[in-house]
Amino acid sequence: MTSTELKDFLDEKVIQYNTLDFIDSDPVQIPHLFSQKEDIEIAGFLSATIAWGNRKMIIQNSHRMLDLMGNAPFDFVMSHSESDLERLNNFVHRTFNGQDFIGFIKSLQHIYKKHGGLEAVFAQNQEAQSVQKSISEFKKTFFSIPHLPRTQKHISDPLNNSAAKRINMYLRWMVRQDNKGVDLGIWKSISPAALSCPLDVHSGNVARRLGILNRKQNDGKALAELDAKLREFDPNDPVKYDFALFGLGVFEGF
């Protein structure tokens, strides 16, 4: 395919998969459960954090996290007691355990009490064409209070050559102005043009088969290569192509 034909093909796949039906089988359904901004962004952040492995299990465990917080994530973050935190101890999703969950709640409280909330921290170091520095600086702020060293691995640092798939996906949910009702687009201080594609096994393999990604590893360098190509196709909304790459890989076995 020529570059124009490839763009047309991917644009068609975006239309096919960027629909409300997508929500039913995707963790993006978790932040959609809420209407208050802070509830949406906290629920989204926690569900994105555990978004690796089986998608049904991710969604199931995301609901369990919310249940443990009384299905009021912002209220829980801001006004939990020590006994409330003890309830979280038995939570496990893959390598994310109850101690990590408790650490995340404490860090989120610090973010809202001392730094103006999640959007403010991400927007503070925003660059015109990249969110990677924002993510790296966010991680520093998030872990600026006492925490278990093991918990740090659950937020990736793209400046250490990580593709940071889960947190890039979270930013897509929060920032992208989606007229289809999938991505929530509640953060107005970050431009969708700066977003990066959530690069994982599926999107990486499809991108290589389509010839828009050459690097073999799904790391930060591969993400930069893929982002550059997707920005050629649509500089204002490059991560819409995540729907095409993911849909081709997961639903069509491309």
Q: What digits encode the pLDDT tens for the residues 106-146?
A: 999 999 999 999 999 999 998 988 999 999 999 999 999 99
pLDDT of residue 236: 96
Q: Tell me the per-residue pLDDT of 12-52, one tens digit each, with 9 for 90 and over.
A: 999 999 999 999 999 999 999 999 999 999 999 999 999 99
Residue 1 above 90 pLDDT? no
The position carrying tokens 């940071």 is 164
Q: Where would I find the beta strands (DSSP E) of the chain?
A: 92-93, 96-97
Model confidence band, residue 254 (pLDDT cutoffs 50, 70, 90): confident
pLDDT of residue 36: 98
Q: Tell me the per-residue pLDDT of 152-182, one tens digit each, with 9 for 90 and over.
A: 999 999 999 999 999 999 999 999 989 899 9
Q: Are 78 and 38 in contact (CB under 8 A)?
A: no
Q: Are 201 and 157 in contact (CB under 8 A)?
A: no
Model confidence band, residue 253 (pLDDT cutoffs 50, 70, 90): confident
Q: Tell me the per-residue pLDDT of 87-106, one tens digit each, with 9 for 90 and over.
A: 999 999 999 999 999 999 99
Helix 55-68 and helix 37-49, axial crossing angle in degrees, nearest 10 = 130
| Angstrom distance (rounded) from CA 246 to CA 182 | 14
Report residue 128: phi and psi, to 5°. Answer: -60, -40
DSSP 27: G
Could you tell me how many helices (H) and strands (E) the chain has, helices first? 12, 2
Task: Say if pTM beats, i.e. exceeds, 0.95.
Answer: yes
Report residue 190: phi and psi, to 5°. Answer: -125, 135
* Exposure on the CB side of residue 26, measured as CA atoms within 13 A: 22
DSSP strand pairing (92-93 vs 96-97): antiparallel
- All residues at 6 or more sequence positions from 218 whose CB lies less than 8 Å from its CB, including other chains: 163, 165, 199, 200, 201, 204
| Angstrom distance (rounded) from CA 122 to CA 41 | 12
Alpha helices in 69-194 (DSSP H): 73-79, 82-86, 98-114, 118-124, 132-142, 165-175
| Angstrom distance (rounded) from CA 249 to CA 183 | 20
Q: Tell me the per-residue pLDDT of 68-86, one tens digit each, with 9 for 90 and over.
A: 999 999 999 999 999 999 9
| Angstrom distance (rounded) from CA 183 to CA 246 | 15
